[in-house]
Chains A and B, each alone.
Chain A
Amino acid sequence: MRMRAFYEAVEEAARELYLRALKDIPADVRAALQRGLDAEKRDGNASAEQVMFTILENVRTADAQDTLVCQDTGLPVFKAVIGEDLMINGGELKRRLRRGCERATKEYPLRSNTVHPVTRKHTGTNTGDGIPVVKIEFREGSSALYLCAAPKGSGSENMSFLKMLNPSEGLQGVKRYVLECVLESGAKPCPPVIVGVGLGGTSDVAMALAKEASCFRKIGTRNADPVIAELEAWLLDRINRTGLGPQGLGGATTALAVHVEWAHTHISHNPVAVNMQCWRGERAEAVINGAGEVRFL
């Protein structure tokens, strides 16, 4: 009986988080956008200032009208961190997350984007085979479930890159590749972007790390490894010196942040993955305890 309340809370929370992520952009992203506006003002770049002002005005309009920030309702992506002291059925967890997305889509209603990759036939529910994407992790010493929704828009997700560099290309090769990806992306991912970089692992792990970096890390956090934190700072500085600017129309704010996540890798590997997140930086979080009590963060 107790667990039924828990799963119902998961479904409700999934529905709510999907909508919140699309309507209410996180405080760290808002602050970074404001810093971007201030920087363009200082530089006296009128077009870039205009773009940053419009972005912030749009965020305020979405708040005031309780409406979507951007029309792209994305593909639903969840991160679920399960406390190791919480005994739950993983299959039921996934079914409830899916059900929550379907209800948000029908009840709001949200535009559905989910199609078959070959026939391009719409499911109409924003869910399908493998969708929502659910990333599961575990946390020691916890008896709660943490959920984060990051429904990813297409403009930024289409700007995803992977290269298995030669180990002899080293860190310099990584830096070059990331800058090339930013130039290649240009205006398409709706800059200013959050650049997510995944280093090491196998190819799929590198891509997953890049997604973690772009969508789930808060702006202002630094990687715990000082070597990696230094790389984050170096990349942010250089990316903003490209001058691509907001919307690729020129300016000082091409990226709001660069986040790098890493894993150990094979002696013969040097994988680098890049995933862009657009200025909307959508993300909404909640914690649910075993009794089904939900706390939105």
Chain B
Amino acid sequence: MAHHVLYTPLTEEAVRGLQLEDTVTIQGTIFGIRDATQIRIFDQGIAPPADLTGGVCLHTAPGVRKLAEGRYEKLSIGTTTSTRMDRFVPGLLEQYGVRAVVGKGGLLAGSVAAMQRFGGVYLAIVGGAAALATMQIEEIEQVWWEDLMPECLWKFRVKDFGPLIVAIDAHGNNLYQQVKDRAAAKLEDLLA
């Protein structure tokens, strides 16, 4: 496993060069999205007001404090379970050019296939490690769709965001599934 420092926006080449279990830190900007954000994009068919091409999307609903119109201070920014938002991932990649999804818990087979097809990766962040993530997010740069608070579309400026672990690569491999399959195969032996 190798370590990579990636600068946003990500290129297809950079993403395809990542192998399962490699570690990544991100420099630049990332987007924060959650259930309501993606329901608006895909179920209500409203295109996101920001260009997500080459983007990194973090599954989050941040805890923030309002400073002024459209300006927010970070309080606690953590990560939520990705599987709940699995159905939106192929669309993010195909229609909006997203290259990486950051979350916890992994994604299902359809998203794994989409990552292989369009050139995307799933980067596992340590679930619950919000104190650290909040430090690595330097500033909330922009926010759209404030009516969905806290599930708006967020843009964060990050420094040394990670280390993240490549848990689904762009070649059809899914680390969570591999680990689960190995565990399931052991079950009868463990009970014997």
Contacts and interface: CB of A to CB of B under 8 A. Distances in A.
Interface string A55-76: 1011101100101111110000
B186 A241 contact: yes
B163 A50 contact: yes
Nearest to B23: A50
18 contacts: A47-B1, A47-B21, A55-B128, A58-B130, A67-B134, A68-B75, A68-B76, A68-B130, A71-B78, A71-B79, A109-B75, A111-B63, A111-B76, A155-B127, A175-B191, A183-B180, A242-B186, A278-B128
Contacts of A155: 80-81, 104-105, 127-128
A242 to B, nearest CB: 4
Size band of the interface chain A makes with B: 35 or more
Interface residues of B, number: 44
Most B CB within 10 A of own CB, among A62, A70, A71: A71
Interface of A: 46-47, 50-51, 54-55, 57-59, 61-62, 65, 67-72, 109-111, 153, 155, 172, 175-176, 179-180, 183, 186-188, 190, 238, 241-245, 247-250, 278-280
Contacts of B180: 183, 186, 244, 248
B77 interface: yes
Interface of B: 1, 21, 23, 60, 62-63, 65, 75-81, 83, 104-106, 124, 126-132, 134-135, 150, 163, 165, 167, 175-176, 178-180, 182-184, 186-187, 190-191
B150 to A, nearest CB: 7
Given A71-B78, A188-B83, A249-B165, A57 B132 contact: yes
A247 B127 contact: yes
State the 10 A-B residue pairs at the shortest beta-carbon distance, nearest first. Answer: A71-B78, A58-B129, A62-B131, A242-B183, A70-B128, A190-B127, A71-B130, A61-B131, A58-B132, A71-B76
Contact of A242 (B23, B81, B190): B190
A58 B126 contact: yes
B75 to A, nearest CB: 8
Interface of B is mostly: mixed
Contacts of A111: 63, 76, 150
Nearest to A172: B191
A55 to B, nearest CB: 6
B128 A46 contact: no
B130 A69 contact: yes
Contacts of A70: 76, 78, 128-131
B111 to A, nearest CB: 15
Contacts of A47: 1, 21, 23, 165
B76 A187 contact: no
